[in-house]
Structure 1
Amino acid sequence: MILQKLTVLTFMVINIIAAAQNNKKEMSKLIRNEFEFAEKQYKYLIKSVPPDKMPQSYNASSNKITTRDITWWCSGFYPGSLWMIYEQTNDPEIKKEAERTLKIIEPNKTFTRDHDLGFMMFSSFGNAYRITKDPAYKEVILTSAESLSTRFKPGMQAILSWDKMADFKGPVIIDNMMNLELLMWATKNGGSKKTEEIAITHANTTIKNHFRPDYSSYHVIDYDVNTGKVLGKKTFQGYSDSSAWARGQGWALYGYTMMYRFKKNEKYLNQARHIAKFILNNPTLPEDKIPYWDFNDPKIPEVPRDASAGAIIASALLELGQYVEKDERANYADAARQMIVSLSGDKYRSQLGENGGFLLKHSTGGLPLNSEIDVPLIYADYYFLEALKRYKDWYLQ
């Protein structure tokens, strides 16, 4: 009897090991194929990008890509995506376009009119410097961090996202957590201590005011700029003030995971774990793990998905898995793997030459604003590529 049980146990272990090895082979092949596809698809996109603008999306009715000026908050994602594709493929045409676009957006290093310097300059120049170690790129990053730091308001202990608007006195959006990476990196790489201090203060203020008891995040907290008093907890892009806008939950998860990477403060790690639990255990999260645009839209499932939120969450979960124990790491990795597999499938990923040259379909930018609904978005591509790279680097070695 004992021998029989040991034999059964041995076979179970062998099967588990074999399944894990097979899974690694499948993911290795998938990731290799996705980067090879991205290389070809972005060569198609390159042909449509004007010399002085950055790609935003694709209009199927006109069969043309839509583009924006360089001060648009997403202007760094196209260069950043190109650099990640080049890193995996060594394609000289991709590198040439990546270098060209950096020159176009470099003037943003002194841009101070909103909080998005991290998206604009770290997604782009950050990847370029990581790959090439060109000191000129580093200087652009450090200058950008100083520019972003000018938006810190001591009275409210946070970085002002947008300037005063009709509906907001001192708006701070959860998206702003993503821009803290620029500030943290700058201090660690020769910049002033001030930028890190600002990032930490902002992250702590956001923990205090942005989250509900279930660890879902409000989109916008409106402050009195001088006193820091909370004037309102609202939304700009979500279903309602009290709803959990999907991409916002992704920004929160990614932001606190990143803050833990730099500071190893357990408060940030625990915040990220709680946010991950809210997302992964949410009853409205579909089987394919790509969320609807807002977790609380009462019309689910008859509402748009947001592939960009899925890509951001997948990338964040893969990093979060680096900082936790084995079983929890496996849980995050498995959820991220399911998201990557879904995004790589026919439902979400383009065919070669279609979709204007973008990689992913079915993202939702601002549904209440009637903007970017069920379309490709450049930042969905960026975080999808980052998730692929992270899975390869951290889970296939």
Structure 2
Amino acid sequence: MKKIVQFVVVIVVGLMISCTTTVKTTETFDSGKQLAYCVEKTKATMGTLSSADSLPRNILQGQKEWNKVGIHDWCSGFWPGVLWYAYEASGDSAILQNAQKFTEPLTGVLDVPVDNHDLGFMLYCSFGNGYRLTKDSAYHDFLLTAADSLATLYNPKVGTILSWPAMREKMGWPHNTIIDNMINLELLFWASKNGGSHELYDMAVKHAETCMTTLVRPDYSIYHVAVFDTVDGHFIKGVTHQGYSDGSMWARGQGWGIYGYTLCYRETGKEEFLTMAEKLADHFLERLPEDGMPYWDFDDPAIPNSPKDASAAAVAASGMLELSTYVKDEKLKTKYKGAAVALLAKLSSDGYLSGDKNQSFLLHSTGHHPNGSEIDASIIYADYYYLEALLRLKKFYQE
């Protein structure tokens, strides 16, 4: 009995220390300082880019400058998105001009047949933020066209948007949907409220509902990919593409889930989406290692000698900050806000800020580990969600 009492005391003391640390981090973290850092880094990168259809994607080990991609890469919208956020943070007219310059070429994304489920990442991060900040009617109209284009990938028998159309034959998947696709739903929700068909709203809701019962496992970890039959739409299996194994917990995928179900609650007010976001966030936090930074996959047997993923931390932080504004319970509000700030503080430490090492904001992201690509690299979407989270913290809590 004495040992049991001692064990309980240790747990209680540990929780008290953890809560105290979280409170201190929340009170002392300076989002303004980090926003200024991002703005200055953005301006420095602007001076090195000339072609508006050549967009930053990654910086690999030993490199200083961004490797670029064209407009049809799924990451093409993140650099314009960074520019829009940097403009929002600073009001700098030169950044505004660059945001407009690097957004405009992305109109060409829709000049080819729709074969990419990531139109939300590509066009909402760019044109969506642009419209939010400028109310440019051309951006508005283009976003409506983009939403209608994304909707062509929706399969009503399955109830989800098709991911990776080009991979159906290669992978033998009749219809597949990845957790990443939750973020693309924001484009459909926006369009349904801004002149588009209400069917876009219905598609987005059905997609989210279907993923809750297929992509999300009973323990609230997430499959990367759900495979469906196209005859009657039934769920065949859950697999991975970028995680360690079919049954493992891929860190960024868990972040996409937290973020995606939070935005679905924002757009619909459906309590089941809020509850799902909470459950996914709780599981993410339960499995965080002691240093507070996720490995690329929580179940990689190479841990602790396994790459971290700053992008997963940035996505989760941004999602949990928004989640904290919707939960009703004050303890949960404090929990999610504190966890998000702790992730931001970790990302803002000397171990993760790029400083003068390269052009990015952050180091140590992992893109596609099984493919051996973008491992321990700087990746543009990590910077995007880091900057977004900093702006959200300022907007939600520090203004």
Within 5 Å, which residues of 2 pair with 1:147-186? Answer: 147-163=149-165, 164-167=168-171, 168-186=173-191
Task: Kindly provide the CA deviation profile for residues 188-242 of structure 1, in whole angstroms up to 9, marking residues without a partner as x.
Answer: 1221111111111111111111111101110011112232122331100000000
Instruction: Determine whether 1:289 maps to 2:292.
Output: yes
CA distance 1:280–1:292, shift in 2 (3 Å): same
How many angstroms apart in 1 are the aligned matches of 2:63 and 2:396?
41
Within 5 Å, which residues of 2 pair with 1:283-322? Answer: 285-322=288-325
Instruction: Determine whether 1:89 maps to 2:90.
Output: yes
Task: Kindly provide the CA deviation profile for residues 79-135 of structure 1, in whole angstroms up to 9, marking residues without a partner as x.
Answer: 011111111111222111111011111222455112101101111111111111111
Shift of residue 301 of structure 1? 1.1
CA distance 1:130–1:156, shift in 2 (3 Å): same
Equivalent of residue 243 in structure 1, options 240, 248, 252? 248
Partner of 1:66: 67
Task: Kindly provide the CA deviation profile for residues 305-358 of structure 1, in whole angstroms up to 9, marking residues without a partner as x.
Answer: 000000000000011111112110000011101011111111111114x32x11
Equivalent of residue 235 in structure 2, options 230, 235, 242? 230
Which residue identity lines up with residue 170 of structure 2 in the other structure? A
Equivalent of residue 138 in structure 1, options 125, 137, 140? 140
Partner of 2:11: none
How many angstroms apart in 1 are the aligned matches of 2:294 and 2:252?
9
How many angstroms apart in 2 are the aligned matches of 1:254 and 1:275?
9
SS in 2 for 1:55: strand
How many angstroms apart in 2 are the aligned matches of 1:20 and 1:74?
33
Q: Is the 8 A contact 2:57 2:380 kept in 1?
A: yes
How many angstroms apart in 1 are the aligned matches of 2:368 and 2:23?
41
How many angstroms apart in 1 are the aligned matches of 2:239 and 2:49?
36
SS in 1 for 2:290: coil
Within 5 Å, which residues of 2 pair with 1:253-268? Answer: 253-268=258-273
SS in 2 for 1:304: coil
Q: Is the 8 A contact 2:60 2:376 kept in 1?
A: no
Q: How many matched pairs?
A: 374
Which residue identity lines up with residue 252 of structure 2 in the other structure? R
Q: Is the 8 A contact 2:25 2:345 kept in 1?
A: no
SS in 2 for 1:374: coil
Partner of 2:373: 371
How many angstroms apart in 2 are the aligned matches of 1:386 and 1:199?
23
How many angstroms apart in 2 are the aligned matches of 1:331 and 1:25?
14
SS in 2 for 1:257: helix
- Aligned alpha-carbon RMSD (Å): 1.9
Task: Kindly provide the CA deviation profile for residues 276-297 of structure 1, in whole angstroms up to 9, marking residues without a partner as x.
Answer: 1111111xx1234220000111
Q: TM-score, normalised by structure 1?
A: 0.90
How many angstroms apart in 2 are the aligned matches of 1:318 and 1:208?
25
User: After the TM superposition, which segments of 4 or more aligned residues of structure 1 sit over 6 Å from their partners?
Assistant: 19-25
| Structure 2 segments unaligned to the other structure (5+ residues) | 1-20
SS in 2 for 1:212: coil
SS in 2 for 1:232: strand
How many angstroms apart in 1 are the aligned matches of 2:187 and 2:109?
14
SS in 2 for 1:171: strand
Partner of 2:37: 37
My pick for the range that moved more, 221-230 or 271-280, is: 221-230
Q: Is the 8 A contact 2:26 2:338 kept in 1?
A: no
Q: TM-score, normalised by structure 2?
A: 0.90
CA distance 1:23–1:58, shift in 2 (3 Å): closer
Instruction: Determine whether 1:389 maps to 2:394.
Output: no
Partner of 1:125: 127
CA distance 1:21–1:235, shift in 2 (3 Å): closer
Q: Is the 8 A contact 1:358 1:381 kept in 2?
A: yes
How many angstroms apart in 2 are the aligned matches of 1:288 and 1:78?
29
Which residue identity lines up with residue 132 of structure 2 in the other structure? R
Task: Kindly provide the CA deviation profile for residues 2-50 of structure 1, in whole angstroms up to 9, marking residues without a partner as x.
Answer: xxxxxxxxxxxxxxxxx999867633xx221212111221222223435
Instruction: Determine whether 1:336 maps to 2:340.
Output: yes
| Structure 1 segments unaligned to the other structure (5+ residues) | 1-18
Which residue identity lines up with residue 304 of structure 1 in the other structure? P
Shift of residue 162 of structure 1? 1.1
How many angstroms apart in 1 are the aligned matches of 2:226 and 2:394?
37
Task: Kindly provide the CA deviation profile for residues 336-381 of structure 1, in whole angstroms up to 9, marking residues without a partner as x.
Answer: 01011111111111114x32x1100000000000010000000000
Which residue identity lines up with residue 238 of structure 2 in the other structure? K
SS in 1 for 2:294: coil
